[in-house]
Structure 1
Amino acid sequence: MNETAVPGGVDEAGLDLDALRQRGRLAPRLKLEPLMARWPLWPHLLAPAPYAFNLAFRLIPLLESFLQRPKAHAAACKDPALFGGPFVALAESALDEVSRYLAQLRRQHAALLRFAEDFKSFDKALQQQADGYALDQLYADLPASLSGLVELLYDLHNHPTMRLFEDLLYASPLDISDAQSVCLHLQDDDQRPFFLSTPLLDAPDRLFIHRRFDDPLLAEVLATRWRPGLPESLLSLIAQSSVPRATLRQMFITEALQRQQPDYRGDGLRMRYFGHACVLIQSRDTAVLIDPVTAWQRQGEDATLCFDDLPDHIDYVLISHAHQDHLVAETLLQLRERIGTVVVPANDRGNLADPSLRLMLQQLGFRSIRSMEPFERLPIAGGEIVSLPFVGEHGGLDIASKHSLLLRCQGRSILFMVDSDAVDPRLTERLVERIGPVDILFVGMECCGAPVSWLYGPLLPEALSRRNDQSRRFSGSNCERAWAALQALGSRQVFVYAMGQEPWMKHLMGLAYEPDSPQLLEIREFLRRCEAAGISARSLKGCYEEVFAAAAPEPGERRP
């Protein structure tokens, strides 16, 4: 961004630069979308190794398919039933531009593409050659793209594998920071293309800022979502932009934000549900936000709360796992200056399918990051946060970057099971033996999720058979498993959540339920059982608010 000072006054198209300089903010409808080489950012694009694999074995083949069969892609994009499929949402007139972009992508990321191809090829040879004998001699055969970046290992079954030195990848020729940018564009939440399908190419109504996510100048722009006054760097970019002035007038506002009591000074705990898995818990002393993703503007009955209603300071943001609907870079970036500490599950194992959340968040410019081991406790004002094991939702893959979260505050205990599948009831019973009963439970019941290849396909050495792929799904608990967990935990209040049915989640979820979908049938049966047992139960969709009264301590009891 050019930081040249921009004259004041009203320009020839009616853009009041002085007003924007003093009171300007990003309009609620304006999307400030982080990109990696023009692709909408999701967690696997934040880490060099899975980014390389997705680029080589998903994104580039997708563009090649579009170039070969643009009419088929266009037809598929018009069919609502195929939303979320591998179809590029671009017009046939974009063929030449896509062809140029694809050539540029190959040039810009030649080292990453070579790394992905060499990793896959060497791993295949390793699986064929290694028979339990020492692997030392194979280091000499490592391609230059892998040398010094991997360790060759056996597991206890004598299966060979490669462990990545992730920290080194970020500082090697695989450094991906130059591909980072953000795009400012006007688009309603429910009109956004599916996150895996379509790059954001140049368009008259798009304003691109080619800066690293941790760049201080970009931080100034991000802050104008809630702090008045457009920085000179952004005004300069606006002045030089070819975006029509009529569009620019819609991108920025000078009116004060209309906020709905973002701070809480009452007794007990205020729970605000912002949709999907995003829950804000506030006491008079602290604010804890789980898996932040919100509507960007209030609209209709669903979006009664939006991004503007989040507090100015959030003490802790808790990330449950690294899927695109729980670690949402778009939301995190625009909250970054308002967050005290981000809490993530501990993981630095060098697993291709399980990149370090700590390193990914550092790429987003976060510095105060707390990694928690299972059962580790983090003291907060009036209570504590406890990290707990999380089973399921990852298609049977060896993923450590996931945890359920127990929040104790004001004498209340609230457990967020997120997308975990209570497939082993004895585990829940053992958790209760360790942590005691839980007052309030949040449980996900997406019991029929996508197959493992939907997200992790590009990382798999060999394609799974259809039978095996369909058996390994991103699934949460069904009625029986959720009910068994609820009984073991002893909760008297339960919320079903994280079902992804809000309009602002459409581009991240790619799904829509019918009234007779198995997920909804299971939820109805679960709610019926709760009602029969006298347990307060609610299925959440959209936004919701409730205040939980503080629990009086028992005589002689010491609160954490």
Structure 2
Amino acid sequence: MSETLYRLADHTCVAPLVQGWTAWWMTVAPVPASLHVHKAQLPLLQAYLQSPEFHARASKDAALSGGTFVGIAPERAGEVKALLQQMQESQVDRVRLAEALEEFQGWLVEEAKGQSLEPLYEKLPEPLRGLVELSYDYINRPFVRMMEGALYRAGYHKPQLQSLRLLPLESDASRPHLFTTPYLMEPGQIDWAVPFSEERISRLFETDLSPRPLGHLRDVMGPAVTRDEQLLPLLTEAPPSRYTPWEGPGPRVRYLGHACALVEWKGITILVDPVISARPTSGGMQRLTFHELPPRIDYALITHSHPDHLAIDTLLRLRHRIGQLVVPRCNGFLVGDYSPKRLAHSLGFQNVLELDTYESVPLPDGELISVPFLGEHGDIGHAKSSYVVRTGKQQLLFAADSMCVDDAIYRHMRQNLGPIQTVFMNTEIEGAPHTWTLEALFPKKRDRKLEKNRRCRGSNTGEGLRILELVGASKLYNYAMGLEPWMEHIIGPPCAPDAPRMKESDRLLAEARARGLGAERLYGVTDLVLES
């Protein structure tokens, strides 16, 4: 009699955590994580403990969506207090690094006016010694360049704090908000203390396509599972879906929600900005989940590090299927301009391509090209890239949250690459404040009045139409609008139809159609078959 085979159930969510907090680049990359724990996470938990009732109430108020409120019930304040103490003890070195960096940067700006920086190395505080280079730009503004590779090896990268939380997803709204609320243990959950780079993680996720006996899963997860009853509610005996390769004459684009799209062309699969969700037990909007994706993803493309585009949970779940992870190149001059390539290596990826502007990768009768991406970062120079995918004579631009502030960018794109027939583009005209997720990276002393008009926005209607005109587009797909409910724990509830970004989307679509272009706003799973 054959053994029963199991895979993770469609409702099983696997959340990567760093000491209870959702893993994203600001909790994993050493310098951002040090600043974030010191200036964001610890103060947030301390504020919660002063008024748990207020935080719990405010976190459920839709009018306060996007605020910094911990969504944990007051009766669990004792657990939050214990977490705070654990973080203060286990991340004391990160806190000291952040304090030293903040103090020294302020001192350096006042002290260094163009003279040699050599004597100033003697003034470096101990936590920074051997880990930084002091430099000027060409107009003698000093800065501290962090040696990121050294920081990963100096103990500021903390895989011992990493874990995977397996839980039944009750609803899309049931996940703690990524930025403000840590995960506390709930009945029916399993916390697996395992570094993200471990190969054992792939052995668990391989069961999405190749179910295995219960004993195999227990062996993989080790002491995290002491009884079969813990694991069985998170598993299913249902066989995985069988993937049928696309064989059409032209490319197929499977839009999977928000900014995630699967391009299939001549046996090649390309997954853009992978964010994939489990299916809630309570139902909800239709979606494709992990066992329904191709068994091999040749290229996974990351446009930028915002967690609605770079989702560590999805990347870990698909790591064993991804042939090449393609990430934008960082410059490393700002403390927050961390290396996505180094981050990917810390997540266990071996094959990582870091593409600079107009570098490319050949495809069968096609090409994958990194192209400029302006916007969405509030004028902060962090790594980002849009991508053009050429499939035969058809070219597709995945512009993410790009905005058109310089026509010449897209004029040069057309000159370099030829007409780009299909554009996937966002219309986030408001955007969050430029410090919304990055406040911890900024020094305390600065002129906030000058920063008020800096927003993380995309193109408005006029700018969007200029992009379409300049690249020679005939089709527009308005995407990455934050409409799918499974994005709620990252960017908040879906916006109402009368929200500014939706009204702007309507205007862009109407104007594009008036000019004879095909124009559509994407929502949920949609198959798009393009001409060859």
Relative to the length of structure 2, the TM-score reads 0.95
Q: Return the alpha-carbon distance in structure 1 between the equivalents of residues 277 and 262 of structure 2.
A: 14
* Alpha-carbon distance between aligned partners in 2 of 1:330 and 1:98, rounded to the nearest angstrom: 24
2:276 paired residue among 289, 294, 312: 294
User: C-alpha offsets along residues 118-144 of structure 1, whole Å, 9 cap, x if unaligned?
Assistant: 100111111111111111111111111
Partner of 2:317: 334
Q: Does 1:194 align with 2:190?
A: no
Deviation at 1:205, TM superposition (A): 2.4
1:34 aligns with 2:22: no
Structure 1 residue 180 displacement after superposition: 1.2
Show structure 1 runs of 5+ residues with no match: 1-8, 10-17, 551-560
Instruction: Give distance in 2, aligned partners of 1:93 and 1:342.
Output: 43
1:310 to 293, 301, 311: 293
Shift of 1:548: 1.2
Deviations 1:321-352 (A, max 9, x none): 11111110100101001011011112252531
Query: Residue in 2 aligned with 1:372?
Result: 355
Counterpart of 2:36?
A: 54
1:125 and 2:107 matched = yes
1:355 maps to which of 316, 338, 347 = 338
Q: Give secondary structure in 1 for the equivalent of 2:119.
A: helix
CA contact (8 A) 2:196 2:347 kept: yes
| Counterpart-to-counterpart distance in 2, 1:190 and 1:131 | 51
| Aligned equivalent of 1:471 | 453
Distance 1:152 1:417 in 2: 35
Work out whether residues 262 and 310 of structure 1, in 8 Å CA contact, stay in contact via their aligned partners in 2: no
User: Cα–Cα, structure 1 residues 240 and 320, in superposed 2: closer, same or farther, change >3 Å?
Assistant: closer
Contact in 2 for aligned 1:275/1:502 (Cα 8 Å):
yes
Is 1:280 paired with 2:262? yes
Match of 1:176 in 2: 158
Moved more, 140-149 or 230-239: 230-239
Which structure 2 residues correspond to residues 370-409 of structure 1 after superposition, within 5 A? 370-399=353-382, 401-409=383-391
Output the CA distance in 2 between the equivalents of 1:76 and 1:157: 46
Q: How does 1:225-304 map to 2 (within 5 A)?
A: 225-229=208-212, 232=215, 234-235=217-218, 241=225, 245=229, 248-258=231-241, 261-297=243-279, 302-304=285-287
**SS at the partner of 1:224?**
helix
State which drifts further: 322-331 or 214-223.
214-223
* 2:74 maps to 1:89: no
2:211 partner amino acid: P
Aligned-residue CA RMSD in angstroms?
Answer: 2.1
Q: Distance in 2 between matches of 1:142 and 1:304?
A: 52
Contact preservation (8 Å) 1:38, 1:200: yes
**Is residue 434 from structure 1 mapped to residue 416 from structure 2 by the alignment?**
yes
> What SS does the corresponding residue of 1:524 show, helix, strand or coil?
helix
Q: Provide the secondary structure at the position in 2 that maps to 1:471.
A: coil
> Cα offset for 1:244?
9.6
| 1:238 CA drift (Å) | 8.1
The answer as to 2:52 corresponding to 1:67 is no
1:217 Cα deviation from its structure 2 partner: 1.9
What amino acid does structure 2 have at the position aligned with 1:326? H
Out of 91, 96, 107, the position equivalent to 1:109 is 91
Report the alpha carbon displacement of residue 231 of structure 1 after superposing the two structures with TM: 6.6
Once the two structures are superposed, the pairs formed by residues 447-462 of structure 1 within 5 Å of their partners are: 447-462=429-444
Cross-structure match for 2:404:
422
Which region of structure 1 is more displaced relative to structure 2, 311-320 or 193-202?
A: 193-202
Q: 1:465 offset after TM fit, Å?
A: 5.1
User: Aligned AA for 2:218?
Assistant: L
CA distance in structure 1 between the partners assigned to 2:445 and 2:6 by the alignment:
51
Q: Cα gap change, 1:462/1:541 in structure 2, threshold over 3 Å: closer, same or farther?
A: same
Asked whether the equivalents of residues 191 and 224 of structure 2 are also in contact (C-alpha less than 8 Å), the reply is no
Correspondence for 1:224 among 204, 207, 210: 207
CA separation of 1:163 and 1:230: change in aligned 2, threshold 3 A? farther
Please tell me whether the aligned partners of residues 162 and 196 of structure 2 are also in contact (alpha carbons under 8 angstroms): yes
Q: Give the ranges of 4+ consecutive aligned residues of structure 1 lying more than 6 Å apart after TM superposition.
A: 298-301
Q: Say yes or no: does 1:510 pair with 2:510.
A: no
The equivalent of 2:187 in structure 1 is 204
Q: Distance in 2 between matches of 1:42 and 1:78?
A: 23
The CA deviation at 1:464 is 5.4
When residues 243 and 443 of structure 1 are mapped into structure 2, their CA distance, relative to the original with a 3 A threshold, is farther
Aligned partner of 1:345 in structure 2 is: 328
Q: CA deviation at 1:265?
A: 2.4
Any idea what SS the aligned residue of 2:432 has? coil
What are the Cα deviations for residues 255-280 of structure 1, in whole angstroms up to 9, with x where unaligned?
Answer: 11245x45222321111000011011
196-205 or 360-369: which moved more? Answer: 196-205
Deviates more, 1:323-332 or 1:38-47: 38-47
Supply the distance in 2 between the matched residues of 1:243 and 1:394 (Cα, whole angstroms).
Answer: 47
Residue of structure 1 in register with 2:306 after alignment: 323
Superimposed CA distance per residue, residues 171-191 of structure 1 (whole angstroms, 9 cap, x where no aligned partner): 003131111111101123232
CA distance in 1, matches of 2:289, 2:225: 29
- Check conservation: 2:192, 2:224, Cα contact below 8 A: no
Distance 1:476 1:523 in 2: 11
CA contact 1:262–1:309 (8 Å) conserved in 2: no
Deviates more, 1:457-466 or 1:500-509: 457-466
Q: Is the 8 A contact 1:316 1:341 kept in 2?
A: yes
Task: For structure 2, list consecutive stretches of 5 or more residues without a partner in the other structure.
Answer: none
- The answer for the alignment partner of 1:99 in structure 2 is 81
Letter in 2 for 1:102: L
**Counterpart residue number, 2:507:** 525
2: CA distance, partners of 1:267 / 1:116? 55
